[in-house]
Structure 1
Amino acid sequence: MTSSELIFQSTDLAQRRTEFLDAARSGMARLRDKDGTSLVMLPERQLHLLEELRKWSSVHMRLERMLGRADFRPTVQNLGDLAWLRVFDGEDLKEFAGELNEALVAADSDNSTAPLDDCLRAWRTTAQQLEDPLRRSVLLDKGSSADLIDAERPE
């Protein structure tokens, strides 16, 4: 019997607490309460991962639905809690949605929020830079070869 199949009873907590805690440390420990309620104990980092995957999966699905509408325009009102994405156009938002999806798959596969955290940090940083009009013009200006001049070698 694997630890995920083993179900402890509330009375086991007194006599088999070490076994219960070992099962929880190794991934998950199930406990059946006196009233029949099933409880689960797991490492906090695992709970944090599950919460983040749930939250950002929901955000991803909502964003995909918005992007699929022909009349979608990225406004603060449309984006809601994703308002920090307002500086991006529709194509950028589609790229974000794709990268977010990849980060979610990687986070689940790696059993770590690091890929998700990295993705969100990079997009938030870019959004913050694009908020400044001067930085935005520098970052998005295509320029032309006529704008370039040869630099002289410093002495």
Structure 2
Amino acid sequence: MADMIFQASDLATKRTEVLDAARDGLARLRDKDGTSLVMLPERRLRLLEEIARWSRAHMRLEHLLRREVAPDVGELGDLAWLRAFDVDDLREFVDELHDALLAASSDEDPTALDEVIKAWRITARQLEDPLRRSILLGRHGPDDLVQVSEPQ
């Protein structure tokens, strides 16, 4: 039934078949004026929207990073939360985003993509704080460590 195209009149006469096809992944419907319509589970639509959104972001970041300088906030746009990262970190983000996009598409599940974005957003927030940034990115040697006693 994957190649079947329903007619507008089928919504009344074959509604169960149309809904079954949609539940199974996709129902094609040809409207009276010839317009092709598609019905699919909302979960799948949301996945496709997320993959499209993050694919655009991925391509934009790849393009910006070809210049070898960190993009400014205006260039990042809705990805301005990435401003805390240097060029090398941004390249690593682009690589991880690429892998997550492939996994989400292959798995038909946005979990891998959601996890990568969440982890990078958390790290970005930590780097915005000067003290945390110095701790996370600073150099630490053995002299910086002290012995502590067990709390009583």
TM-score per shorter chain, which class? over 0.9
TM-score, structure 1 length as denominator? Answer: 0.93
2:54 to 47, 56, 60: 56
Which deviates further from its counterpart, 140-149 or 53-62? 140-149
User: Where do 1:3-152 residues align within 5 Å?
Assistant: 3-70=1-68, 72-152=69-149
Q: Tell me the CA shift for residue 81 of structure 1.
A: 1.3
Gapped runs of 5+ residues in structure 2?
none
1:149 Cα shift?
A: 2.6
State the percentage of identical aligned residues.
Answer: 60
Contact 1:8 1:31 in 2 (8 A): yes
Residue 126 of structure 1: SS of its match in structure 2? helix
Instruction: Give the alignment's Cα RMSD to 1 decimal.
Output: 1.2
Describe the superposition over 1:37-86 as per-residue Cα deviations: whole angstroms up to 9, x where unpaired. 1100000000001111111101101100111113x323212211110000
Q: Which runs of 5+ in 1 are unaligned?
A: none
What TM-score results when the alignment is normalised by the length of structure 2?
0.95
Q: State whether residues 67 and 94 of structure 1, in contact with CA within 8 Å, keep that contact through their aligned partners in structure 2.
A: yes
Aligned positions, number: 152
